[in-house]
Amino acid sequence: MNLAQTVFRRKIKIWFLHSALVVIVAWILFMPSLVKYEKGGDNIFSVKLNNLVVGTAGTREDAYKAYREARRAIAKGNDELVLSYADLTIEGDNVLFGEVDSVGRMAANMTGILRDSEKSTFNRAYSIKINEFAVNLGSLSDVMELLSTALNNFDESRLYSVDLVVDTEREVNVLTPIVKSKEEVKKEEAKAEITNNMPQAGFVLDLTQTVNDAKPIAYDKDFSDYELGLQSMDFADKVEIVECYLPDSEITDLATAIDDVTKDKETNQIYEVQSGDTLGLIAQKFDLTVDDLVRMNESLENENTTIRVQDNLIVTVPEPELSVVYQIQEYYEEDYEAEVQYVPNDSWYTTQTKVLQEPSAGHRKVVAVVTYTDHNEDSREIVKEEITYRAVPKIVERGTKIPPTYIKPISGGRLTSGFGRRKRPTKGASSYHKGVDWSTPVGTSVVASSSGTVTRAGWGSGYGYCVYIRHPDGRETRYGHLSKVLVSAGQSVSQGQRIALSGNTGVSTGPHLHFEILIGGSQVNPLNYLN
C-alpha cells in the first residue's frame, strides 16, 4: 500500500466518524422520542390519569396539553355538560436518555380513561321557583306548557298567553312570566310593524300624538255596551325561572310537574273570628269538622270553647302552588238588601237595640267586575246598576253608651263546676247548674263583678248567705254560699269593691263561691262575659 492510499483511507475514516457524530447529535437534538439532558432538573415526566399510566411527557405542559385535548374529545358532539372523574398526576425525573410519547398518543389514552369513568350527564334544565316551592323541568317548552296550563284552568277560550321576560329587578339572569291577552299582543305587533315600516315625523307624528292623547267621549252606556267575560289575568305568586345543569334524577317530568303545581293542596291559613261566628259555622265555611278545628288549634279545649271576635284560628284551605288572579265582567239580576240604617240613642247602652222598620228586598240589574284568585272571589265592583224596584232598609235604634264590664269576683280559686248540665253533687242541689263554682278557702274576699245597686243581701235558702246586685245595663249578678255579707240592700257598690267573704253555707259540698249572671231574668254562662 502506497502513501496515497493510506492518506485516502484516513480521510475516509475521519469523514465517517464526523458524519456519525453529526447524525447522533442531530438525533438527540431533533428526534421527538428522546429528551434533552438538563443538568439539575427534571427532564422526563410520567403521566397518570385516575392512577393509570397514559404515557411519558417531555414537559409538564405537554401533559396538560394532552389532558385538555382529551377533555375536548369527550365533550365534542355533546351539547350538554359531561361529568367524568379525573385525577391527573405528573411525576418528574432526571435522566440522561429517555423516550417520550407524543401529545396525541397521551391524549388518546386519556380519552379512553375519561370515557370509562364518565359518571353521568348533566342536562340543561330550568328551575322554576314559586314562593318556597321549586320544580325542575328539562326544557323551556315544558316551562311554557306548565305556565300555560295554570292559566288555561281559568281561561277556557284561550284568550290569554304567557311569555318569558328578563326580571329587571334581579342582578342575575332570571326570567319571569308576563301574561297578556292575545288581542293585546296582536295590537302591539301591528303597531310595531307600522312604526318600523313608516317612521313618523312632522304632521304625521303630531296627528298620532293627538289621537293617542285624546280622551274617549263619556256617555251613559247601556247594558249591551259592556263586554262581558274575562277581562284580565295574571299569576298571583312571584315566579322565577333560572337556567341550570342537573342530573336526570333531579328533573321532573312535565305531567308530574303540572300536577304538583296546579292541583289544590291543603294549606294552613289564619282566620280572624267575625261577629256572629261559631265553631260550627267556621268549620262549615272551610269544609271542616269542629273536631278538625279543635285538633288544629291548641287554644280550643273542646267544641264548647268560647271564641271571641278578632280571635285568630288556624284553618286549612285548598290552594295550588301557583295561583291565578283574574277578573270577569258579569251581568246578572238579583234581589238585594239595603244597608241597615241606625238611629243613635245616647241614653242606651250599645247592647240595647230596637227595630223601628222592618226591611224589604229590592231588585236590580247589575254589571260588575269580579276579581277571583283561583276559584275564590276576592272582590266585586259594580260598574252599572239599574234598580227595578228599590229595597226598603231596616232601621234600628241602638245605644251609644259603653256597657259596664264584668270581672271575676275572687282572686285565684279553682273552677270546680261549670255552667249547665251536671251530675247532682249533693242531695238538694240542682242537676242543671245555673252558674259557676270556684273552690276557695272560707273567708276569701268576694268583690262586685261590676258596679251597681245591691237588691238582696242575706240568707237565700239553698244559696246560704248571698248577695244580688242589679247593674246599669239591666243585668244582675248573684254571689252564693257566703260566710259573711258586708253590704246591705239598696247600697251602691263599685266594680271591685269587697261585698262579702266566701264560705260553705246553704246547700254546699265544701268551701267555694257560687257566681251567676242573669240577662233578662235568665242565667247565662258567666265565663262568656268576664273580662
pLDDT value of residue 168: 80
Give the pLDDT mean for 249-266. Answer: 90
Helix (H) and strand (E) counts in the chain = 9, 30
Say yes or no to pLDDT of 22 above 70.
no
Q: Confidence band (pLDDT; 50, 70, 90) for 30?
A: very low
Compute how many other C-beta atoms are within 10 angstroms of the C-beta atom of residue 283: 19
Region of poorest pLDDT, from 11-15, 210-214, 339-343: 210-214
Q: In whole angstroms, give the CA distance from residue 205 to residue 209.
A: 6
Tell me what the pLDDT averaged over the chain comes to. Answer: 86
Compute how many other C-beta atoms are within 10 angstroms of the C-beta atom of residue 165: 9
Put simply, whether the predicted model's pTM sits higher than 0.75 gets the answer no
> Among 503, 517, 512, which residue's Cα sits nearest to residue 435?
517
| Strand boundaries in 410-520, DSSP class E | 414-417, 420-421, 432-433, 436-439, 445-447, 452-459, 465-470, 476-485, 492-493, 498-502, 512-519
Model pLDDT for residues 300-354, shown as the tens digit of each residue: 888 888 888 888 999 888 889 999 999 999 999 999 999 999 999 999 988 789 9
Q: In whole angstroms, give the CA distance from residue 154 to residue 350.
A: 46
Compute how many other C-beta atoms are within 10 angstroms of the C-beta atom of residue 187: 12
Which residues, including other chains, have CB under 8 Å from residue 416's CB and lie 6 or more apart? Answer: 437, 438, 439, 512
Q: In whole angstroms, give the CA distance from residue 106 to residue 95.
A: 20
Angle in degrees, 0-180, between the axes of helices 60-75 and 103-116, rounded to the nearest 10: 50
Asked whether 409 and 448 are in contact (CB, 8 A), the reply is yes
Say yes or no to pLDDT of 211 above 60.
no
Contacts within 8 Å (CB) and 24+ apart, 268-272: 268/296, 268/314, 268/315, 268/316, 269/314, 269/315, 269/316, 269/317, 270/312, 270/313, 270/314, 270/315, 271/312, 271/313, 271/314, 271/315, 272/310, 272/311, 272/312
Which residues, including other chains, have CB under 8 Å from residue 438's CB and lie 6 or more apart? Answer: 410, 413, 414, 415, 416, 512, 513, 515
> Among 82, 79, 74, which residue's Cα sits nearest to residue 121?
82
Say yes or no to pLDDT of 518 above 90.
yes
